[in-house]
Structures are given as C-alpha cells and as structure tokens.
C-alpha cells in the first residue's frame, strides 16, 4: 500500500489517503465479522500496517503527537483503538481455542512498541489480561507465548500508568518465578531487562530483595550466557539490588534474612536497641516473621539457622509485652523443646534459653543471658 510511504506533495496523495481509509476500515470490520482465518489475517495485516507506517506520516509520531494530516490521524487512531479492543477481547474469550491468544500476544508485541498503543491498551484494561500468561513453560509453543508475553510486559515497563498496575498485581512474583526456572536465553533476557526497568520504580526494589532476587541474579551470572545485553543487564540489576539493600532499614534487612532462611549471627540479633525499636513490627501480616522462624525450626537442616531462630524467639518473648502468649499460641514451644536434644551444642543452648524465657516470663527473662 502506497499510502504509508506517499509524499504529501504528490498529486495522487489525497486519493491514496482515501484508499488507506477504506482499506483499514474494511480490515477492522473483518476482525469482528469474519471467520477465524479471516480474523487472523486481518489482525496481522493491520498490525503490520500500523507498526510499519512512517513515523511522520502515519497519524501519530513516536512521542504520541499528531502529524499534520488530520485524515490520517483520525484513521490510524480509530483503527488502532479498534484493533487493541479486539486483541483484548481475544485474551478474554479467544475466537480460536489454540490460536486466539498466541495471535493476540504476537500482534501486541508488535503494537506496544508505540506509546499510543500502550496508552490504548492500558485504557482498555488489558494489562491484567497478560499476568496469568506469565508462568514457567516447557513446550516450544508455550515458551514462545511466554517470551512474547514477557516482551509485552517489558514494553509496558516504559509506560508509567502501566507500571502503576504492575505494582499492584502479582507480576513481579511471576516474573521472578519464570526467570528462576527458565533455561531459554531469550526468555531470561527479556525478564531481566524488565526487572531492570522496574527496579527504581516505587517499592519494586524492596520487593525484589524480599523475593530473593539478589541470590537468583548471582546464580544466573554463574551460568554461561552468550547474549552480551543479558550479561550487562544482570550486572546492572545486581548493582541496583545492592544499592537497595543498603537503603533498607535494619528491620528490612532482618526480615530479608528470615524470609530467605539465611539466618546467621549478624549484630542485630543480639542488639537490644534493635529489638526495642522494632518489636511491634513483628506483628505485621499476622506475625509473619514469627511464623517463618517457627517453620525454620521444622524444616532447616542448618544448625546455625536453628540456633539463631531459637534465640530470636527468645528475644521476642523478652521484648514483646505478650511475647509468651503469642509464641505459645503459635505452637512454637513443642518445636523448641525437640531441639533441646539436638546434637549441636549451639542449638541446644539457644533452645534451652528460649524455653527458660517462655516458662519464666518477662519479669525474670531479663536475667537470662544467651
């Protein structure tokens, strides 16, 4: 079609524009009225036409501003809006059981390169439709779908309104699950590039640290990747995560240590100021940190982690006004008592301390030393 490369100064330019309007509107109508074969071809043709148009002649420039041609602006905007709506409809209720969603994602991966398409997609509430598709894949077909879905999310990570939605969904958790289990280089690359974009936005950095991304990045860096962009992105992501960890409060660091199960005798465990200042934060999320400490007692095979977990429970008992009651209600006493016969003396010592503080209560607990 000449209409996307025509020179406005040529005599037949106006006629070419009229043909453009007719062709585009025809393809748009076929999306909703044709059978699947016609819908798929129309979708792909429209996507190619819209994405391949000249930046200065195609109705909307790369920065989203209108071109000089009012006719083309109206046509492209109308067609693009209709196309995005059809793609979202396919993600909700595909016309074809196996081809509907992959076709829609392939076209979106092309269209979302344009800022105006990102805007229309967010307005159509399309971002939430991508999230369920972000999950580990095994077959070649599902890997390609996963890659193109992650490519769409990467493109959306350059658009602030889309980032706001990504921050309130499980997108980050799903991306990390994918990158942790994927061996396909192109999938790992696009996910790492997306995480790198999201890192400085809002609370994404802190969430990434809590979800254990620093350890995952270290593991990925140890693998043999041929893509230089991926290696560079991994280094940048690692540096950014380290900077976020430095900014975290002492309780954030403690929480990170507990959630990852990597307990060690860092200074905060025996720091009375830390416990006095942060004791109420242990109540967050229905005593999540205490529950994880108790889970460590049941599942960890690391004597150091077991010893530290016992000691931290004893610290909570000492510094929280209702520490004894809460720890008892969470059924930690039985777990700790089992460890009093542990073969490691460090574990035995701290299990005994925890039980002493649990039985003696806060009035006498301060007289007991680790």
CA distances from 297 to 166, 226, 243, 294 (A): 35, 42, 31, 5
- H-run or E-run covering 183: none
Q: Is residue 138 part of a domain?
A: no
Count: domains in the chain: 1
Instruction: State residue 75's pLDDT score.
Output: 66
Q: Is residue 276 part of a domain?
A: yes
Greater confidence, 293 or 138?
A: 293
Model confidence at 348, pLDDT cuts 50, 70, 90, reads very high
Q: Is residue 145 part of a domain?
A: no
Q: Is residue 198 part of a domain?
A: no
pLDDT tens readout for residues 141-166: 899 999 999 999 999 999 999 998 89
What stretches of 47-119 adopt beta strand conformation (E)? none
Q: How many other C-beta atoms lie within 10 A of the C-beta of residue 80? A: 26
Instruction: State residue 368's pLDDT score.
Output: 47
CA distance 345 to 303: 9
Q: Is residue 20 part of a domain?
A: no
- Lowest-pLDDT range of 45-54, 57-66, 104-113: 57-66
User: From the centroid of its chain, how far is CA 219?
Assistant: 18
Q: Note the pTM of the prediction, 2 decimals.
A: 0.66
Q: Is residue 207 part of a domain?
A: no
Percent of the chain at pLDDT above 70?
85
CA distance 174 to 160: 20
- Residue 290 maps to which CATH number? 1.25.40.150
Q: How many other C-beta atoms lie within 10 A of the C-beta of residue 204? A: 21
Say which residues have a Cβ less than 8 Å from residue 205's Cβ, sequence separation at least 6.
Answer: 199, 240, 241, 244, 247
- Asked if the model's pLDDT at residue 6 lies above 80, the reply is no
Q: Is residue 269 part of a domain?
A: yes
Return the exposure string of 215-231: e unless at least 16 CB atoms fall within 10 Å of the residue's CB, then b.
Answer: ebbeebeeeeeeeeebe
CA distance 89 to 110: 17
Most confident stretch, 65-74, 173-182, 204-213: 173-182
Q: Is residue 25 part of a domain?
A: no
For residue 278, what are the domain limits?
A: 251-366
Q: How many other C-beta atoms lie within 10 A of the C-beta of residue 240? A: 18
pLDDT tens readout for residues 243-253: 888 777 788 88
Say which residues have a Cβ less than 8 Å from residue 327's Cβ, sequence separation at least 6.
Answer: 290, 313, 316, 317, 333, 358
Q: Burial level of 188, CB count in 10 A (0-12/13-18/19+)? A: buried
Helix (H, G, I), strand (E, B) or coil at 152: helix
DSSP character at residue 60 = B
């Amino acid at each position: 079609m000449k209409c996307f490369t025509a020179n406005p100064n040529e005599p037949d330019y106006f006629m070419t524009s009229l043909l453009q309007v007719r062709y585009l509107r025809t393809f748009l109508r076929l999306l909703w009225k044709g059978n699947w074969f016609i819908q798929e071809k129309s979708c792909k043709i429209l996507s190619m036409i819209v994405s391949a148009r000249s930046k200065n002649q195609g109705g909307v420039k790369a920065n989203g501003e209108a071109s000089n041609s009012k006719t083309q602006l109206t046509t492209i905007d109308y067609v693009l809006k209709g196309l995005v709506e059809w793609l979202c409809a396919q993600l909700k209720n595909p016309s074809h059981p196996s081809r509907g969603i992959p076709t829609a994602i392939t076209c979106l991966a092309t269209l979302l390169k344009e800022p105006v398409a990102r805007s229309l997609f967010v307005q159509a509430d399309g971002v939430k439709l991508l999230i369920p598709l972000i999950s580990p894949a095994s077959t070649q077909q599902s890997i390609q779908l996963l890659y193109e879905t992650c490519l769409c999310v990467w493109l959306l990570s350059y658009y602030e309104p889309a980032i706001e939605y990504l921050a309130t969904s499980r997108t980050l958790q799903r991306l990390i699950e994918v990158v942790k289990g994927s061996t396909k280089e192109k999938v790992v690359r696009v996910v790492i590039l997306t995480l790198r974009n999201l890192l400085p936005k809002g609370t994404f950095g802190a969430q990434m640290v809590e979800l254990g991304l620093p350890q995952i990045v270290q593991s990925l860096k140890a693998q043999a990747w041929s893509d230089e962009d991926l290696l560079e992105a991994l280094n940048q992501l690692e540096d950014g995560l380290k900077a976020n960890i430095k900014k975290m409060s002492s309780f954030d660091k403690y929480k990170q240590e507990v959630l990852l199960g990597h307990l060690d005798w860092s200074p905060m465990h025996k720091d009375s100021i830390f416990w006095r200042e942060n004791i109420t934060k242990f109540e967050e999320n229905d005593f999540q940190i205490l529950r994880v400490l108790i889970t460590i007692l049941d599942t960890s095979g690391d004597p150091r982690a077991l010893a530290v977990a016992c000691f931290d429970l004893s610290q909570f008992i000492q510094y929280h006004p209702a520490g004894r009651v809460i720890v008892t209600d969470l059924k930690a006493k039985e777990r700790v008592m089992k460890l009093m016969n542990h073969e490691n003396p460090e574990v035995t010592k701290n299990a005994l301390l925890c039980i002493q503080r649990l039985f003696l209560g806060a009035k006498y607990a301060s007289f007991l030393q680790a």
